[in-house]
């Protein structure tokens, strides 16, 4: 089989693959995607998905990537009603005094809330204005943007990068947890997340408790529902809804916002975050052909998405200039 030199192959159609595909198309490259699962069946479709650099490393790069993402979303998604993306106020709460967050410089609107803004039992917090991506619309919007720019997509599983290199010289690997098998990366692991989606009750502010007594609790009001979270079970591959987790999530939400005392459940969802000690974003040369890896975004795949996609583009431009 003759390898394709002019078209780039992206592996994966989650938020990382689609965002990378879009920026490559915008820069004038021809792009095709192969993915085992397409939206709405990827991990990305299960996400909350609020802009927040959670469970991701390295921190210095995460600040740059998340800042880039925030600015990109403000410019290209917020004003598009089809994107499902809107600016929201988020308060992260703590039951003790805290220092400034490591991600502070990624966000323009950073403030400390006054005591009256905090739920009972909490002492401190961070308050930011940042984008919320309603995945039920946002993933479809990404897919639509990708195809309308001329990108093609195929549902296809591959067992090795060699299989992709038989047809394409340059491959961008955005397979998330799939890279455990695809490139034998044993530093990847699942961080199980369960959420409960309930009917809206008038709440508009996002509230999160990552490390205080309600750890890990978050309330994410969207246009037509509220996402309540969550869990972060390291090494747990269980994709089934656990009723015990649901019960605990509802209990934690009620403590954070008493108006959630009685809720109507719409849906319960489980997804496996691609945990890794750091995002793998680098180019690798395999027998004269290129792979650019972009996976391992942990709990921040959306938050880092456009920043990482931009770095993929820069790596591809360097590779193509040198070849
Ligand atoms: C409950 C929950 C809440 C979350 N909340 C947030 C949040 O608020 N904010 C945030 O930023 N992030 C959040 N995340 C994290 C975020 O969802 C992930 O970091 C992100 O979805 C990872 O995206 P990805 O595109 O890298 O991987 P995925 O979405 O997993 O996509 C991987 C793609 O690769 C394909 N693939 C895999 N293996 C192969 C193969 N061998 N051959 C072909 N295709 C393959 C898959 O089919 C899929 O298309 C949350 C996650 C969960 C589970």
232-283: pLDDT as tens digits: 999 999 999 999 999 999 999 999 999 999 999 999 999 999 999 999 999 9
What is the pLDDT confidence band of residue 307, given thresholds at 50, 70 and 90? very high
Domains of the chain: 7-322 (3.30.9.10)
Is the CB of residue 39 less than 8 Å from the CB of residue 32? no
How many angstroms separate the CA atoms of 84 and 141, rounded?
Answer: 8
Q: Is residue 31 a contact partner of residue 317, using CB atoms and an 8 Å limit?
A: no
140 Ramachandran zone, left/alpha/beta (phi>0; psi -120 to 50): alpha
Per-residue pLDDT at 2 exceeds 60: no
Q: What residues form DSSP beta bridges with 228?
A: 196, 219
Dihedral angle sign, alpha carbons of residues 254, 260, 265, 269: negative
Higher pLDDT, 212 or 13: 13
pLDDT at 214 over 70: no
Q: 110: which strand partners?
A: none
Residue-level pLDDT at 319: 85
- How many Å lie between the centroid of ligand 1 and the Cα of residue 167? 25
CB atoms within 10 A of CB 236: 17
Separation of alpha carbons 190 and 276, rounded Å? 9
Residue with the nearest Cα to atom 8 of ligand 1?
A: 49
**CA 189 vs CA 67, 217, 236: distances in Å:** 26, 22, 9
φ/ψ of residue 263, rounded to 5: -130, 155
- Report CA dihedral (130, 134, 139, 144) to the nearest 10 degrees: -90
Confidence band, pLDDT 50/70/90 cuts, at residue 218: very high
Q: Mean of the pLDDT values across residues 164-178?
A: 97
User: Does the beta carbon of 295 sit less than 6 angstroms from any atom of ligand 1?
Assistant: yes
6 confidence band (pLDDT: 50, 70, 90): confident
> Please, what is the average pLDDT of the chain?
95
Using the atom order of ligand 1, give the atom closest to the CA of residue 297.
19
Q: Would you say how long the chain is, in residues?
A: 323
Whether residue 230 has its Cβ less than 6 Å from ligand 1: yes
pTM value is 0.96
CA of 42 to the centre of ligand 1 (A): 6
Q: Cα–Cα distance between 160 and 186 in angstroms, integer? A: 15
- Measured N-to-C along each axis, helices 301-322 and 15-26 cross at an angle, to the nearest 10 degrees, of 40
63-85 per-position pLDDT tens digit = 999 999 999 999 999 999 999 99
Pocket test for ligand 1, best of 9, 11, 14 (most atoms within 8 A of CB): 14
Residues 292 and 283: beta-carbon distance below 8 Å = yes
């Amino acid at each position: 089989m003759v390898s394709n030199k002019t078209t780039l192959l992206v592996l994966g159609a989650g938020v990382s693959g689609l965002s990378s595909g879009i920026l490559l198309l915008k820069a004038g490259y021809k792009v095709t995607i192969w993915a085992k699962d397409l939206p709405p069946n990827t991990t990305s479709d299960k996400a909350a998905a609020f802009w927040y650099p959670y469970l991701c490393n390295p921190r210095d790069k995460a600040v740059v990537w998340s800042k880039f993402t925030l600015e990109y979303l403000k410019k290209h998604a917020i004003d598009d009603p089809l994107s499902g993306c809107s600016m929201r106020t988020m308060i992260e709460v703590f039951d003790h005094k805290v220092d400034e967050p490591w991600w502070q410089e990624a966000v323009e609107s950073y403030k400390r809330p006054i005591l009256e803004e905090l739920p009972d039992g909490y002492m401190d917090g961070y308050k930011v204005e940042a984008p919320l991506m309603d995945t039920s619309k946002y993933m479809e919007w990404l897919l639509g943007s990708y195809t309308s720019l001329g990108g093609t997509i195929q549902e296809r599983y591959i067992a090795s990068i060699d299989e992709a290199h038989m047809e394409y010289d340059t491959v961008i690997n955005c397979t998330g947890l799939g890279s455990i098998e695809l490139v034998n990366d044993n530093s990847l692991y699942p961080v199980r997340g369960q959420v409960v989606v309930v009917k809206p009750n008038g709440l508009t502010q996002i509230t999160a408790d990552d490390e205080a007594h309600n750890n890990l609790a978050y309330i994410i009001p969207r246009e037509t529902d509220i996402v309540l979270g969550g869990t972060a079970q390291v090494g747990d591959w269980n994709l089934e809804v656990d009723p015990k987790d649901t019960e605990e999530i509802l209990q934690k939400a009620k403590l954070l916002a008493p108006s959630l005392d009685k809720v109507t459940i719409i849906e319960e969802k489980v997804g496996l975050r691609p945990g890794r000690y750091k995002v793998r974003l680098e180019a690798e040369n395999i027998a004269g052909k290129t792979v650019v890896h972009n996976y391992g975004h942990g709990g921040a795949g959306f938050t880092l998405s456009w920043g990482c996609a931009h770095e993929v583009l820069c790596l591809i431009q360097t590779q193509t200039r040198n070849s």
